[in-house]
């Protein structure tokens, strides 16, 4: 799937090849209790400069997908393909993969409290990341660049902060440091794994704003992993919704929010607080997320789905066109008529 993906802005992608291309990626953990199928055939592309959000509950496989393509998943069988500018990442030796990690494809993580080494200064940790990919970089030059980067992510007194230890910084500042570190080698793709989840609400907005600015300034492609559709709206061009190791719906942000073609996406949207509603209680999707250890036959969402029909538990639906998105649902997608009927 590439050209006919709904929602891929032809202005952005015209005549260009995806920078990151994942196809039919499967990750199965071997545990003592049996195989855990964390990712089951995920396919998507990321084009230069584009921002793609991967949304899903924890355990849906969204982080594992991204970790797997950077070769950071241990004790697992990985199949399928993931290419960066045409070179296959799955199965690549770590020694080669290392030159892509942090250099071409950088990643920032959820918890800035634990993502930094407590016994090394900020500057030292940033220098290590730079020197990993630019061995000729002198200590002094690395430090100068680190200060510059800290300045760029709007950390005041950057020169002084350079010699600080992580525990001397607030959570938001640490995440800024992480971001500075991630962009220090001018990557082309930035993977942001729940970058704001561990932060205060006010700080969350600042960090998202910073990421947006950097993306524009550096022409970065971004993959935003989040469980919160609310974060997605302003930050992503396209959205892929994951459930039980699969993409169950994808499309451009606008259509997907306006007219979701999968009950799970609808459920996620219902969970969002709305400005036009006064009551405080938010809806949540009933039931528990499907376990990768024991998936039900048929559609894994069926046990929690309010649109469920008998065919849902017979076979698993694949992505099909639903208006302007692709959706893996027998009931809402495919013929499209049922969806309209239920919607009404």
Partner 1 sequence: MKRYLAIRVAVMPLLLFGIASIVFVVSRLTPADPLVSIVGERNLTNPQIVAAARARWGLNDSVPVQYAKYMKNLVKGDLGTSFTTRRPVLHDLLDRLPATLELTFVALLIGVVFGVGLGVLAARNRNRLIDHVARFVALIGSSLPAFWAGLLVLYIFYARLGWLPGPGRIDPRSVAPGHITGFYTVDSLLHGDWSMFVQSVKHLILPASVLGWGVVGIVTRLVRASLLDEFSMEYVRVARAMGLRERTVVNTHALRNALLPTITIVGFLFAFLLTGAVLTETVFSWPGVGSYAVEASRKLDYPAIIGVTILGGFAFLITNLITDIAYAVADPRIRLS
Partner 2 sequence: MTAIAVPAARIRRRRPAWLRGPSLIGLISLGVWALVAVTIPLWTPNDPLAPVAGRLLGPSVKHWMGTDALGRDVLTRTLWGARISIPVAVTVIISAVLIGTIIGAAAGFLGGWVDAVLMRLVDITMAFPPILLAMAITASLGPGIRNALIAMVLVWWPIYARLLRAQVVAVRQREYIDSAVAIGASRWLILRRYVLPMSYTPVLVNATMDFGQVVLLTASLSFIGLGARPPSPEWGAMITEGATNFYQWWIAASPGIAILLVVLACNFVGDALRDSFDVKEVTR
C-beta of 294 vs 306, nearer to partner 2: 294
Among 98, 218, 304, 321, binds partner 1 (CB under 8 A): 98
Contact 109, 193 (CB under 8 A): yes
Q: b/e map of 297-312 (b: 16 or more CB within 10 Å)?
A: ebbbbbebbebbeeeb
For residue 277, give Cα distances in angstroms to 9, 151, 201, 280, 298. Answer: 32, 40, 20, 8, 36
Contact of residue 75 among partner 2, partner 1, none (CB under 5-8 Å per partner type): partner 2
Instruction: Identify which of residues 31 and 117 has a Cβ nearer to partner 1 in the complex.
Output: 117
Residue 37 CB partners (closer than 8 Å, separation 6+) = 26, 27, 28, 245, 292, 295
128 binds, among partner 2, partner 1, none (CB under 5 to 8 A by kind): partner 1
| Angle subtended by helix axes 122-133 and 139-152, to nearest 10 | 110
Segment near partner 2 (CB under 8 A), from 93-101, 105-113, 116-124, 168-176? 105-113
Strands 221-226 and 238-243: unpaired
Tell me the per-residue interface mask from 52 to 91 with partner 1, x by CB under 8 A, - otherwise. Answer: ------------------x-x-------------------
Measured in whole angstroms, the distance separating CA 88 from the mean position of its chain's CA atoms is: 20
CB atoms within 10 A of CB 315: 11
Angle at 127 between CA 125 and CA 128, to 5 degrees: 65
Q: What is the largest CA-CA distance in the chain?
A: 67
Stretch that binds partner 2, among 93-101, 108-116, 231-239, 315-323 (CB under 8 A): 108-116
Residue 117 binds partner 1 (CB under 8 A) = yes
Burial of 66 (0-12, 13-18, 19+ CB in 10 A): buried
Task: Pick between residue 292 and residue 317 the one whose CB is nearest to partner 2.
Answer: 292
- Measured from the CB of residue 175, what is the shortest distance to partner 2 in angstroms? 14
* For partner 1, the closer CB: 181 or 229: 181
Residues 21, 40, 49, 62: which binds partner 2 (CB under 8 A)?
Answer: 62
Whichever of 1 and 293 has its CB closer to partner 2, that residue is 293
Q: Is 128 in the site for partner 1 (CB under 8 A)?
A: yes
* Chain residues that interact with partner 2, rule: CB under 8 A: 29, 31-34, 36, 38, 58-64, 67, 73, 75, 109-111, 193-194, 293
* Chain residues that interact with partner 1, rule: CB under 8 A: 70, 72, 94, 98-103, 106-107, 109, 111, 114-120, 128-129, 132-133, 165, 167-168, 178, 181-182, 185
């Amino acid at each position: 799937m590439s050209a006919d993906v709904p929602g891929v802005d032809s202005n952005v992608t015209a005549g260009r090849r995806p920078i990151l291309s994942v196809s039919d990626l499967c990750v199965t953990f071997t545990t003592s209790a049996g195989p855990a199928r964390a990712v089951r055939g995920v396919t998507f592309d990321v084009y230069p400069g584009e921002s793609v959000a991967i949304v899903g509950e924890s355990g849906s496989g969204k982080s594992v997908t991204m970790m797997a393509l950077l070769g950071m998943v241990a004790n697992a069988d990985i199949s399928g393909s993931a290419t960066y500018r045409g070179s296959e990442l799955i199965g690549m030796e770590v020694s080669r993969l290392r030159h892509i990690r942090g250099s071409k494809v950088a990643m920032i993580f959820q918890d800035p409290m634990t993502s930094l080494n407590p016994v090394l200064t900020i500057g030292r940790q940033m220098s290590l990341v730079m020197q990993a990919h630019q061995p000729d970089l002198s200590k002094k030059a690395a430090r100068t660049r680190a200060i510059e980067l800290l300045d760029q992510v709007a950390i005041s007194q950057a020169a002084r902060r350079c010699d600080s230890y992580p525990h001397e910084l607030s959570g938001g500042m640490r995440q800024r440091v992480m971001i500075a570190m991630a962009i220090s080698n001018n990557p082309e793709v930035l993977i942001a794994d729940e970058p704001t989840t561990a932060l205060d609400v006010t700080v969350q907005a600042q960090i998202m704003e910073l990421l947006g600015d950097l993306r524009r300034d550096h022409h970065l492609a971004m993959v935003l992993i989040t469980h919160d559709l609310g974060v997605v709206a302003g930050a992503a061009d396209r959205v892929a919704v994951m459930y039980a190791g699969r993409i169950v719906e994808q499309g451009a942000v606008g259509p997907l929010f306006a007219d979701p073609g999968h009950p799970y996406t609808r459920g996620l949207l219902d969970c969002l607080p709305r400005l036009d509603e006064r009551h405080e209680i938010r809806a949540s999707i009933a039931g528990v997320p499907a376990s990768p250890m024991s998936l039900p036959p048929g559609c894994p969402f069926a046990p929690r789905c309010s649109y469920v029909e008998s065919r849902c538990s017979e076979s698993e639906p694949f992505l099909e066109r639903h208006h302007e998105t692709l959706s893996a649902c027998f009931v809402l997608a495919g013929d499209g008529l049922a969806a309209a009927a239920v919607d009404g």
